[in-house]
Structure 1
Amino acid sequence: MAVYTVLLPPPSNKDGAPSPLERAVFVREGFAWLALFFPVLWLLFHRMWLLLILFVAVTVGVELAASLIGGPVPGVFGFAIAVLFAFEANGLRRWALVQRGYELAGIVAGSNRTECERRFFAEVQEPVSASVIDPAPTSPRRSVLVVPPRGDPGVLGLFPQKGTSS
């Protein structure tokens, strides 16, 4: 199951500019594998210049400090930084887009990105201004039926029933 956060850019005042819906950005939630193996290229591809400078500075600083210790420590610290960055990469991308003026339009879930895009654009209405899309599946074969219990139990959880004492 893939979960995407949908962000819309601010409206453009230029004539003939595409609508914010046409420029919607889908940011996947979770671990970013490309950011694990190629963090610098990942940051360059997503045009996150300040975060690239910060990442390089932190990585060089930690590697220099770890090289003073010697042994396998620099490699371990380098791997730890890469894994931590891969876990936070999509969150940093979302943060960078919000700093550029993008607004949250919804959260969509589906089996892949194409299905998430279909669900989002099927639910969206013109014009969109930070509407929240229900990520629950709409097909009956995937829906969950919630059946209320018979009668009024009066309490929830592991607490005793009304009128009983323990």
Structure 2
Amino acid sequence: MASYLILTAPGALSRSEISDRYRNETRFIRDGFSWTAFLFPTLWMLFHRLWLHAVAAFLLQGIGLELMRQPGFFAAGAALLLGVHVLAALEGRHAISDRLISRGWKVENLVSAHDLATAEEIHFSEFEQKPNPDIHPKNWDISATNTNTSRPGPSFGLPGYDGGR
């Protein structure tokens, strides 16, 4: 099961006003391994507008390829190339979320789901439910239900707030 980080754009409508605009301004970023980032790290970073990350990956891949050409440094170059690919695959989506958050996007939620459609359904279903105002704790009359005269207040047979029994 994957985790999806849910971000909303700056200036998006409030959570209580679910509309098509809110749905369009909400971005779901899957936390996990990315095969496209593993196979093509520099191109993947350029596609997602991670310019400095792409330049760094390009330079490190060039250094790794040059090390592989030198006698005795093949293993070091291959390890550097593999490291760049694995790092891009594991942390690339985190870099995307960091870039969006630095631009003013707000973290709304974190949802665990098997796929994107399920994550969207879980996230948007939370807002479509209207709370019942009659069950607010301020409307509870605790003194009417408490029959314990030795200790007034909500005890329910548990230790009190002062640590007593």
TM range (shorter): 0.5 to 0.7
Q: CA RMSD in A?
A: 2.6
Query: Which one of the candidate residues 67, 79, 83 is aligned to 2:86?
Result: 83
In the alignment, structure 2 segments of 5+ residues that lack a partner are 13-19, 129-157, 159-165
Could you list the per-position Cα deviations for residues 49-72 of structure 1 after superposition, in whole angstroms to 9, with x for gaps in the alignment? 222123223333455456555233
Number of equivalenced pairs: 122
Deviation, 1:20, is 4.4
The one-letter amino acid paired with 1:43 is M
Deviation, 1:80, is 2.0
Question: Relative to structure 1, is the Cα distance of residues 105 and 56 closer, same or farther in structure 2, using a 3 angstrom cutoff?
Answer: same
Matching residue of 1:99: 102
Q: How does 1:1-166 map to 2 (within 5 A)?
A: 1-11=1-11, 19-64=21-66, 68=70, 69-124=72-127
TM-score by length of 1: 0.63
Deviation, 1:27, is 0.6
In the alignment, structure 1 segments of 5+ residues that lack a partner are 13-17, 126-151, 153-166
Matching residue of 2:17: none
Could you list the per-position Cα deviations for residues 106-145 of structure 1 after superposition, in whole angstroms to 9, with x for gaps in the alignment? 01111211000111111136xxxxxxxxxxxxxxxxxxxx
Question: Relative to structure 1, is the Cα distance of residues 20 and 53 closer, same or farther in structure 2, using a 3 angstrom cutoff?
Answer: farther
Within 2, Cα distance between the matches of 1:25 and 1:78? 31
Greater percentage in helix: 2
Larger Cα Rg: Structure 1 or Structure 2?
Answer: 2
Matching residue of 1:159: none
Question: Relative to structure 1, is the Cα distance of residues 41 and 19 closer, same or farther in structure 2, using a 3 angstrom cutoff?
Answer: same
Deviation, 1:94, is 0.9
